[in-house]
Structure 1
């Protein structure tokens, strides 16, 4: 009884949020049991990695598909007068691991990719933009499938091969 009431309450809240998000053109809220395979563009965009650092993206921010970290970094870089300096030759690698090492190069990469305070969009994507995103989503889904197909099969590991803990136990006792 209690779980049914909680489920009904959750469904009611998510339906209201879904309706509100749809009004904003940014549906990303899923109700329990909702299949996301043909979900919203925003949900599909999240399969594309962040264009700045390659981390898991969370949507289109300031006109570019980015993660939450790069979105926040760009927002902070625009909200105050900053004068970042590169300690190297202005050719730093900006990836998930190194993105916090050089603010200058990270900001330059954001700007080169087209991030802009003016690029905050409300409403729908144009057909051309949507087609481009859908093609990129297909590409990344194919990459993920290829990676999972190339992963070693767990049945390959033979039970006769001693594990490292078995080997340690044998060496310790033997």
Structure 2
């Protein structure tokens, strides 16, 4: 017997001060961060390269340091070679050094020790309604760099949105902590 299906998250409006305020309080975002995530992910769609599907996607990653990093989907005539907006945004963020997290004393930690601490939220925006969620590959990619409680905001063409935590989008996920650390007895090498 399969478990009951989870209820769909509510469709909220970025034009509703109540919805925005509640979202910000629930997910520890400021209204400026929320509006920045929405505006920037919507604007990022303009740089999408999608001549085959014509399905534009923009994504924005918010770092804990307050930086916004944007990305858009990039298609290829050999379809599997294309890259989703979320992976473009995270790729830019990582190569710009934003994956680093702060240690307890404020020092920067890199790699697995700093994993997750550098990112506060992710936003995705499309031209359809209701909003589209990140694909499975992107969910796993986000899991590499974000904590499970990271909010993922999904906006549609009209400013309506759904927000879910990564752990809701990718239950029973596999992450870096499941692997033995380099040099440990369980590591192969």
Q: TM-score, normalised by structure 2?
A: 0.21
Tell me which protein shows more strand as a share of its residues: 2
Q: TM-score, normalised by structure 1?
A: 0.22
